[in-house]
Amino acid sequence: MNVDELRIEQVVIVGGGTAGWLTACTLAKNLASTQPGAIQVCVVESPDIPTIGVGEGTWPTMRRTLENIGLDETEFIRECSATFKQGSQFINWKQSANTDQPHAYYNLFSSIYNPADFNLAPYWALGHAGSDITYANAVSAQGVACDRGLAPKKITTRSYDAVQSYAYHLDAGKFAELLKRHATEKLGVRMVAANVTQVNSDEDGFITDVDTKEHGKLSGQLFVDCTGFRSLLLGDTMQIPFKDVNDVLLTDTAMAVQVPHASKDADIACVTKATAQEAGWIWDIGLQNRLGVGHVYSSAHISDEKAEQQLRTYCDDLSGELSVRKIKMRVGYREKFWHKNCVAIGLSAAFVEPLEASAIFLVEAAGNMLSDLFPRTRRAMAHTEKKFNNSFRFRWDKTIDFIKLHYYLSSRRDPFWRENKQSETVPDSLLEKLDAWSQHPISKYDFSDTNEPFPHESYQYILHGMGFEQSLQSSAPTFAQVAQAKMYFANVVKATEHICRDLPSHRSLIDKVCQYGFQKI
Partner 1 sequence: MTSLVALNSDAHRNLMIDIQDQVDVAKKHNLLPVFMVEFVPSAAQCPVVFAKNHETGQIRPVIMTGFKPDENLFCDGDKWLGRYLPASLRPSPLIAMPDKNNDEKLVICVDEKSPMVSTEKGERIFDDEGNQTEFLKAQTQLAAEMRAHGLQTLELVETLVEFELLKTNPISVTPTNAPPFNVTGLYFVDEKALGELSPEKLAELRDKGYLRAIYASLMSLHRLDDLMRRRTDQETEAA
Ligand X SMILES: Cc1cc2nc3c(=O)[nH]c(=O)nc-3n(C[C@H](O)[C@H](O)[C@H](O)COP(=O)(O)OP(=O)(O)OC[C@H]3O[C@@H](n4cnc5c(N)ncnc54)[C@H](O)[C@@H]3O)c2cc1C
The contact set with partner 1 (CB under 8 A) reads 154-157, 512, 515-521
Binds 346: which of partner 1, ligand X, none (CB < 5-8 Å by kind): ligand X
Instruction: State the nearest-atom distance from the C-beta of 59 to ligand X, in Å.
Output: 8
Binds 322: which of partner 1, ligand X, none (CB < 5-8 Å by kind): none
Binds 16: which of partner 1, ligand X, none (CB < 5-8 Å by kind): ligand X
Instruction: State the nearest-atom distance from the C-beta of 379 to partner 1, in Å.
Output: 41
Q: Is the dihedral of CA 115, 119, 123, 129 positive or negative?
A: negative
Instruction: State the nearest-atom distance from the C-beta of 166 to partner 1, in Å.
Output: 16
Binds 512: which of partner 1, ligand X, none (CB < 5-8 Å by kind): partner 1
Binds 521: which of ligand X, partner 1, none (CB < 5-8 Å by kind): partner 1
Q: Which is nearer to partner 1, 5 or 161 (CB)?
A: 161
Instruction: State the nearest-atom distance from the C-beta of 230 to ligand X, in Å.
Output: 5
Instruction: State the nearest-atom distance from the C-beta of 61 to partner 1, in Å.
Output: 24
Judged by CB under 6 A, the residue of 193, 266, 322, 327 near ligand X is: 327
Q: Say whether 444 is catalytic.
A: no
Q: Which is nearer to partner 1, 75 or 177 (CB)?
A: 75
Q: Residue 173: helix, strand or coil by DSSP?
A: helix
Q: Which is nearer to partner 1, 481 or 519 (CB)?
A: 519
Q: If binding means CB under 6 A, how many residues of this protein chain bind ligand X?
A: 40
Q: Which is nearer to ligand X, 187 or 234 (CB)?
A: 234
What residue type is assigned to position 381 of the chain? M
Interface with ligand X, residue 230, by CB under 6 A = yes
Interface with ligand X, residue 19, by CB under 6 A = yes
Q: Residue 192: helix, strand or coil by DSSP?
A: strand
Q: State the DSSP H helix or E strand holding residue 22, giving kind and residue range, or none if neither.
A: helix 18-30
Binds 518: which of ligand X, partner 1, none (CB < 5-8 Å by kind): partner 1
Please state the three-class secondary structure of 99-137 as a single string: CCCCCEEEEECCCCCCCCCCCCHHHHHCCCCCCCCCHHH
Binds 14: which of partner 1, ligand X, none (CB < 5-8 Å by kind): ligand X
- Which of 29, 85, 94, 340 does the annotation list as catalytic? 85
Question: Interaction with ligand X in 240-259: which residues (CB under 6 A)?
Answer: 254, 256
Instruction: State the nearest-atom distance from the C-beta of 87 to partner 1, in Å.
Output: 24
Q: Which is nearer to ligand X, 152 or 453 (CB)?
A: 453
Binds 443: which of ligand X, partner 1, none (CB < 5-8 Å by kind): none
**Cα 424 to chain centroid, rounded:** 27
Q: Where are the beta strands (DSSP E) in 61-213?
A: 83-85, 87-91, 104-108, 167-169, 190-193, 196-201, 207-212
What residue type is assigned to position 520 of the chain? K
CA distances from residue 205 to 130, 202, 340, 389 in whole angstroms, order as listed: 63, 5, 7, 18
The count of C-alpha atoms lying within 13 angstroms of the C-alpha of 73, restricted to the half-sphere facing its C-beta, is: 26
Interface with ligand X, residue 360, by CB under 6 A = yes
| Terminal-residue alpha carbon distance, the chain | 51
Distance between CA atoms of residues 460 and 110, nearest Å: 12
Interface with ligand X, residue 357, by CB under 6 A = yes
Helices (H), 187-327: 304-314
Which of left, alpha, beta for 340 (phi over 0: left; psi -120 to 50: alpha)?
left
Q: Which has the closest alpha carbon to 290: 173, 163, 150, 152?
A: 173
Instruction: State the nearest-atom distance from the C-beta of 271 to partner 1, in Å.
Output: 24
Interface with ligand X, residue 280, by CB under 6 A = no
Kindly report the backbone phi and psi dihedral angles of residue 49, in degrees, each rounded to the nearest multiple of 5, phi listed first: -85, 120
Helices (H), 187-303: none
Interface with ligand X, residue 17, by CB under 6 A = yes
Interface with ligand X, residue 492, by CB under 6 A = no
229: DSSP letter? G
Distance between CA atoms of residues 374 and 364, nearest Å: 15
Instruction: State the nearest-atom distance from the C-beta of 504 to partner 1, in Å.
Output: 10
Strand order from edge to edge, sheet including 325-328: 104-108, 87-91, 272-277, 280-286, 290-297, 253-260, 325-328
Residues 463 and 442: beta-carbon distance below 8 Å = yes
Interface with ligand X, residue 235, by CB under 6 A = no
Instruction: State the nearest-atom distance from the C-beta of 161 to partner 1, in Å.
Output: 12
Interface with ligand X, residue 232, by CB under 6 A = yes
Judged by CB under 6 A, the residue of 136, 138, 224, 226 near ligand X is: 226
Question: Interaction with ligand X in 40-59: which residues (CB under 6 A)?
Answer: 44-46, 49, 51-52, 54-58
Q: Which has the closest alpha carbon to 167: 297, 80, 261, 229?
A: 80
Distance between CA atoms of residues 108 and 164, nearest Å: 10
Judged by CB under 6 A, the residue of 80, 270, 342, 359 near ligand X is: 359
Kindly report the backbone phi and psi dihedral angles of residue 370, in degrees, each rounded to the nearest multiple of 5, phi listed first: -60, -45
Distance between CA atoms of residues 34 and 11, nearest Å: 14
Binds 154: which of ligand X, partner 1, none (CB < 5-8 Å by kind): partner 1
Residues that bind ligand X (CB under 6 A): 14-20, 44-46, 49, 51-52, 54-58, 172, 195-196, 226-228, 230, 232, 254, 256, 294, 327, 329, 346-348, 354, 357, 359-361, 363
User: What residues are labeled active site?
Assistant: 85
